[in-house]
Structures are given as structure tokens and as C-alpha cells.
Structure 1
Amino acid sequence: MKIKCPACGAAASIEVLIAHDDARSLIVALTGISDDTAKAALRYLGLFRPAQKDLSWARAAKLLAELVPMIQAAQITRKHQSYPAPREAWIWAFNRCIEARDLGKLQTPLTGHGFLLENLTFWTPQKTTAATVLPSPQPSPTGEGAVSTKLRDGVGGLIAWAQKGGGN
């Protein structure tokens, strides 16, 4: 079965990936962490890619294997001090690394996890609470005071169309 990478567009056989020891190691390591954390971790691993080259499966698997025990333990030790590192902290820190690169404050390719771990020492629950998405306002049961948006109007139109038979 051929799969296409959503990041680079390369096509590969999933059977080849599973048969490749290092690729399989990376996939197994990813299964040990939550979905959102895994997505953020993969973006972070891209910071280790050398210019004009691909990041090898072996290097990606090794880098992730260094992080997974800390992610699962939900804490890190840095300079002989322990810091809480729940899933939200990891996602926040991975994103901070990407932002630093985008702002030109982080030189790539990275050679270690020092910048990431240092960011984790600054994490507080308030930093991720502020970044959470608030639910959109819900219309009142009477329909008064409903917030009108293009999305709501479009969904409303689709529902009305479907209730009329959907063009059948």
C-alpha cells in the first residue's frame, strides 16, 4: 500500500516503512505518546534536519527515543531540579521551538534537546490555558441573540437543503 507524506509529498510503501528497523522504531515510539503530542514532536524533529539533506530514520528514531521516557513520566530533570512536564507542556515547548526557528532565534539543524528542555522549565499551566480555544457562542433556545457567522450561515443552509431532500 502506497502512502503519501503530507509534509513533503513523497510517496512510499507502508510495508517498506514497517520492514525498515529504524522507521519501525520511530513508529513504535510515536505510539507511546498521545496524538497531539506526536504531531508536535514530529514537527520538532524537523528542526534536526540538516540543510540540503533528509533526516535519517535512525536519527529521528534516536531523537524521539530520548524524549519518550520523559514525555511518559510527565516530568523532566534539568540542572538537578525536577519540573512538571505534562502533555500540554510538551506541546507548548515543541511549538515554542518552532516559533523560535521561524523568528530566526534558533539556529538549525539542532544537535540536542537543550533548547526544548530549557523551554519546559519555564512552562506553567497558565501558559497553555491562555492558548486554549474557547467554544463559540451558542444561540439561545429561542434563536434570539445568536451570533451570525459565515460558517453558521453555511451550515444552516446545508441543513435546510438536506431537510428538503438534498436535491433528490
Structure 2
Amino acid sequence: MKLCRCPVCHSDIHLDQLLEDDAGREMLGIIAGLKGNNARALVSYIGLFRPEKSGLSNSRAVKLMREVLALYQPSPLLAHALTETVNAVMKNRREGKNAVALNNHNYLKKVYEGAKPLFAVVRNEGKVDIKTAEQQAEEKRIADIQYIERYAAVGQLEIVKNMPEYATWLAWRVEKENDYAA
């Protein structure tokens, strides 16, 4: 069944021929299972491995896809790294710097590691200060005292006399006066 024409090379794409090949079926399954921009980026990336004078076989394409997905989980970071790798290699090829097909994933690894900070999630693991109930109670007591102290500074204690914070403040004042008396 003639599916359509390839937008790049304009040759006919036959779905039945692609599905007849085990590697072709597997390749379609891998691509269909990817989310976001990962599928498009991965297909572009494996194209970098195509020899100059021939096509990339389906079995080689599947092998390359498996290798990439074994190295990295599909994610926005992977899609970014794949895209950046393709863009950089294609730019070099256009400028005539390096026109040979890729033969390993070392450049992708370098780009991936370089892009990690762009996708890093800030975490404070291991440095979290877990407060005990006693510490939390003391912090609340200090906050209550500071709250009422602001009203006392402007002579407006009548406004806050019925608040629970007022009792905390009053106990603190008595404690403070006893400390000065002693």
C-alpha cells in the first residue's frame, strides 16, 4: 500500500513494505511510543549515522534507537540534546568541517551533559532542617510576642486584648519583669 511521498527525497513510502520487515515494525513501535519532541529528534539524530552513499538499514536504525534509549530516558532534556546534536553536526557538514557519518554516541553524551544544567530542578535534599514540635512552638511563641509587641509600641493593646497571642505576650512580659527583678 503506497502511503505517500517522502517530503525529503520524494520517493514513495510503502507502509506494507515497512511492516513486512521486523526491524521496520520495531522502529515504528519505538517511534510511536515516544512522547513530545523525542520521536522527531531521535529520527533526525539516527539520520546522522547514514552512510554518505547508501541508506541506513532498518536494523541499524533500530539498534541506534535502542542504544540511545538505553543511555537516556525520553525527556525534554533528551529531545533538546538530540536536536542540538543534529543542528551542530549539520552545521559542521554545511561548512565542510566534518562530513562523515557518526559512528558512536560520544558527541550526544557531551551535548546531553552540557544541557543538564538547563533542565536541572533545584532541590534541597539532605539539607532540610526538620524542626521538632518544640522548635515550631518556640517560633510561634516568638511570632506571637512580636505581633502583640507592635501594638504595644503604638499604644493599641486594647485592640488585641482578646486574642490568644495576647496571653502569650502577657506571660512573656511577666517572665521578662521577673528576670529583671531577680
Mark yes or no: TM-score above 0.5.
Answer: yes
Q: TM-score, normalized by length of structure 1? A: 0.58
8 Å contact from structure 2 (residues 45, 85) kept in 1: no
Which structure has the larger Rg? 2
Are 1:2 and 2:2 matched, yes or no?
A: yes
The Cα of 1:122 is off from its aligned counterpart by: 1.3
Which residue of the other structure, out of 110, 118, 122, is the alignment partner of 1:118? 110
The Cα of 1:92 is off from its aligned counterpart by: 3.0
Counterpart Cα distance in 1 of 2:43 and 2:62:
11
Q: Work out which structure has the larger RCO, using CA pairs closer than 8 Å and 6 or more positions apart in sequence.
A: 1
Cα 1:113/1:97, change in 2 over 3 Å: same
**1:67-126, CA deviations, whole angstroms, 9 ceiling, x for partnerless residues?**
12344264xxxxxxxxx9454344333333333333334442111111111111111428
Q: Secondary structure at the match of 1:54?
A: coil
Cα 1:44/1:90, change in 2 over 3 Å: closer
8 Å contact from structure 1 (residues 44, 97) kept in 2: no
Counterpart Cα distance in 2 of 1:52 and 1:88:
28
Q: TM-score, normalized by length of structure 2? A: 0.55
Counterpart Cα distance in 2 of 1:61 and 1:11:
21
Gaps of 5+ in 2: 120-182
The residue number in structure 1 matching 2:44 is 43
Cα 1:117/1:102, change in 2 over 3 Å: farther
**1:42-77, CA deviations, whole angstroms, 9 ceiling, x for partnerless residues?**
222221111211111111111111112344264xxx
The residue number in structure 2 matching 1:160 is none
Q: Secondary structure at the match of 1:12?
A: strand
The Cα of 1:35 is off from its aligned counterpart by: 4.6
The residue number in structure 1 matching 2:29 is 28
8 Å contact from structure 2 (residues 85, 107) kept in 1: no
Q: How many residues align?
A: 117
Which residue of the other structure, out of 96, 110, 113, is the alignment partner of 1:104? 96
Q: Secondary structure at the match of 1:122?
A: helix
- Aligned structure 1 segments of 4 or more residues deviating by more than 6 angstroms: none
The residue number in structure 1 matching 2:156 is none
**Which structure shows the bigger proportion of residues in helix conformation?**
2
Are 1:18 and 2:19 matched, yes or no?
A: yes
**Which structure shows the bigger proportion of residues in strand conformation?**
1
